[in-house]
Amino acid sequence: MHLVVIAWLYVALMMAVAEATNTNGTVLGAVFTFLLYGLAPVTLVVYLMGAPGRRKALRAREAAEREAAIRAAAAASAAPDAGGEASAGPVAPVREKE
């Protein structure tokens, strides 16, 4: 994919150079040629081709967050004193009244 992008930009650059060096051409025309025939289409194609990868990365990140939340909930429920409070001391024996 990178080779196609580099080749397309090279061709657009050569078109812009031909525009600038032509007797009827201008540098402004060369800039617009490079932008409209080279940079804009390449940017659009690269963005559209990268959409599935971005979507896959987003789903993987969400799944990892969900897994971390499940593990944290399981660890919290497994700990008997996860509230952060001091545990109570031993209970004093109850004396029977005489």
From first to last of its 98 residues, the chain has per-residue pLDDT tens of 789 999 999 999 999 999 999 999 999 999 999 999 999 999 999 999 999 999 999 999 999 999 998 888 777 666 555 556 666 667 666 777 76
Look over the chain and give the mean of its residue pLDDT values, rounded to a whole number. 86
List, in order, residues 6 or more apart from 12 with CB less than 8 Å away. 33, 34, 37, 38, 39, 42
Name residue 91's amino acid: V
**Separation CA 37–CA 11 (nearest Å):** 9
Quick one: residue 84, left, alpha or beta (phi over 0 = left, psi -120 to 50 = alpha)?
A: left
- Domain spans of the chain, in order of start: 2-76
